[in-house]
Structure 1
């Protein structure tokens, strides 16, 4: 029965870090002025009560990992660091001029690329520049993505001095054949050193990213990787499916053959095996693809019903407004989205001319806002409801009818005003969200836009 469900529901679908998803943004009607107005509105509504989040994209890497779909620039030339960071700080100044008061930073995350490509000295310049124009919230959650092979003690001490308490390391898999296939060779000792180094420098939440469904990967590899991970007991684990999207230009995912990838059934076995081992080790499943110890803030957010999801993934710090700085970074005002240009030189030229480097976006209409809330509920708490009129949208009855088959398969429970995803339905949460996705339902793609859901 389980294999039949996998075959039935393993279709291409979004990961829902936003709604509408990027391919369904109404770019033709989007304007920069509308975007600025939506952000100013959100800032006025939430800066005092919640503060804002900042995501900074640092795109440089010294080598290409072939599993990665992120926007990156491969170079060993570190002279690119300071000019790029100066542009990021200038972009931040442009945004700050839109506001009538200093932003309160509740959450700050450095992603990439490889943030630890940058020297600790240069990262200090970046952080000083960000906080010069802002107030750091009392319980701000500051985090960065670290590469186990180049995160140094200087990096950890620098971040700790600014109040960073969370770091995530990309582990992926400990098997050498898999590591070579994805061009990410890193010994367990490197991961051990940076995990222990973070804890010794005051980090209270250390995360490891583990991927299943990689080329040449087997169930035994997953078991070995998680056994080794248990030796370190990271506070959070992102255990997620490899997103095979080789059609995206420049993502490096053509370094192995299709036949080298596990089948959908094999991937599901890898997921179920890993999930079982993590639960037995004391981790709690958080939303989709994430696990945390009960001592971690992500688990506390789940219990307090404050868990949030945005372009940075799951977060314990909900803010209405999130500003993305750097190439390809996406900003979210709740009422609108805006994405920066993806080319480093174009980005720097626009900033030099005092122009926000946004090249596309979407302003949400009333229906978008209602559906966005339902999808956020499903992704964060595996349930949603429509008790009040402002949670209802005209196509909701059609959505519930379309979910009847999933209800018959035991994936969801539906009553008059309420929908809940069952334990059996957890692996299919993306499929369930797709039923609510009116923009997808009204304009189903003729070509594959998304990775497979299973």
Structure 2
């Protein structure tokens, strides 16, 4: 498309990633523990038996700081922190168990961080054995974890496999040594190959690689080299993310600011990576995600059953996501909540028998309808609506849609909207047209990564 560079420049503006709607900075902050518990009970009664619960467990510790990282983490080499934290997660789950009238069914568990494999296999086994012993795994439940190739051992992989885990996601980011030094994450191909081979040898069904474009010192040549190395291992899924530069929130990112690729150079890195992925046999699954044709994530995309939540794209249909651990976010369809980010405060409140909620949001009927529309666009690039909804679109938003249509990014009418293939890079921008919460708060400034 001849005007692609112009559009990239025009639409490369801060925009939410829409892992939720409303996005976290736009939550009404109208939640307290009593209200949250009541809503959890309602959601459990409505969806718990039929769809089960998905658990996200945040494990925040890392031994060293990766300077590109935007996650909530605590840097320490003191592994004595493991036991008190695991005990807090178990106590938090016990609080939730007291809200359920039946033994809960689990649709999935995901361990994120931080670095989950900072924790010893015995610590992870203690935590997970308790959770699994007080729950019932649903048929097809997906258990997955994020592993650092440098410290994910055979013992980690075997212990988690024996507990039912079948998918592991390795944070690779880039294989170029200069890039790795800049972002303070040095991991040779040999370590990644070892971690991948061991997982497959044990019997893991799915190995995922996380890669990032837009990092310091990246060039077309380094991207080609990285993907050549990736092709020697052929993971089942690849997440190819845009680096989010937010130094005001993550000061360590300032250390390499002068070495970041320019706007058009960054997009060229993505296009080159996407081109290579296509040649390797990977198929695009929503924003930033690619999978082999026989992978469940791609099959969900084809079957229009793909879902998106705070963990990204998922095949799980569950409307209840409970977050355990500091900073973790819960989504129970009728409301959201987030735990306190401060680890000590989180542990203290849990020890007193309270949940450690820092903020939340109660969904209105308008919120739910908007979320469903945005989710449909993010997952399927299409959304349907009726004539009543269409005629309620404000004049200013209708004008934005008409501009998108003129630029070839969308087609829409009284029955719905379809994002074109060339419109896919701009899906976040397109979703903002329907983000009424953000439009209502135009006087406030929000920190979002750039859309492209």
Q: TM-score range by the shorter chain?
A: over 0.9
Q: Any idea what SS the aligned residue of 1:227 has? A: helix
User: What does residue 252 of structure 1 align with?
Assistant: 252
Structure 2 partner of 1:433: 431
Question: What is residue 15 of structure 2 aligned with on the other side?
Answer: 13
Q: Deviations over 1:231-284 (max 9, x none)?
A: 111000000100111111x56322223x21111101110111100110111111
Q: State the Cα deviation string for residues 190-220 of structure 1 (Å, max 9, x = none).
A: 1111111111111111000000000111121
1:14-53 correspondence to structure 2 within 5 Å = 14-27=16-29, 29-53=30-54
State the distance in 2 between where 1:445 and 1:220 align.
Answer: 43
Q: Which residue of 2 aligns with 1:368?
A: 367
Correspondence for 2:155: 154
Give the deviation of 1:396 after TM superposition.
6.1
Structure 2 partner of 1:399: 397
4+ runs deviating over 6 angstroms = none
Alpha-carbon separation, structure 1, partners of 2:356 and 2:390 = 36
- The CA distance in 2 between the partners of 1:124 and 1:30, in whole Å, is 33
Residue 294 of structure 1 deviates from its aligned partner by 1.0
**3-state SS, counterpart of residue 232 of structure 1:** coil
In the aligned structure 2, how far is the partner of 1:430 from the partner of 1:131? Answer: 37
Name the stretch that deviates more: 200-209 or 435-444. Answer: 435-444
Q: What residue is the counterpart of 1:101 in the other structure?
A: 102
Change (3 A) 1:227 1:49: same
- Structure 2 gaps of 5+ residues are none
SS of corresponding position for 1:432: helix
Write the deviation string for residues 64-95 of structure 1: whole angstroms up to 9, x where unpaired: 00110100000000000011000000000001
Instruction: Tell me the TM-score normalised to structure 2 length.
Output: 0.97
What secondary structure sits across from 2:418 in the alignment? strand
Alignment-derived partner of residue 177 in structure 1: 178
Alpha carbons of 1:227 and 1:21: their partners in 2 closer, same or farther (altered >3 Å)?
Answer: same
Cα displacement (A) at 1:393? 9.0
The TM-score with structure 1 as length reference comes to: 0.97
Is the counterpart of residue 413 in structure 1 residue 411 in structure 2?
Answer: yes
State how far apart, in whole Å, the 1-side matches of 2:418 and 2:359 are.
Answer: 34
Deviation per CA, 1:16-48, whole angstroms, max 9, x where unpaired?
100000110001x32322222222111111112
* Contact kept in structure 2, 1:34 and 1:363, CA below 8 Å: no
Q: Per-residue displacement from partner, 1:86-143 (whole Å, max 9, x unpaired)?
A: 0000000001101111110011000000000000111100111111211111211000
1:26 and 1:268 mapped to 2: Cα distance? 35
Aligned to 2:349: 350
Q: What SS class does the counterpart of residue 302 from structure 2 fall into?
A: helix
Taking only aligned residues, the RMSD between alpha carbons, in angstroms, comes to: 1.4
Deviates more, 1:61-70 or 1:30-39: 30-39
User: Do residues 324 (structure 1) and 323 (structure 2) align?
Assistant: yes
Residue 451 of structure 2 aligns to a residue in which SS?
A: coil
- 1:152-301 aligned within 5 A: 152-248=153-249, 250=250, 252-257=252-257, 259-301=258-300
Q: Distance in 2 between matches of 1:335 and 1:395?
A: 24
State whether residues 106 and 139 of structure 1, in contact with CA within 8 Å, keep that contact through their aligned partners in structure 2: yes
Determine if contact 1:69/1:251 at 8 Å carries over to the other structure: no
Task: Report the alpha carbon displacement of residue 395 of structure 1 after superposing the two structures with TM.
Answer: 3.6
C-alpha distance in 1, partners of 2:436/2:174? 37
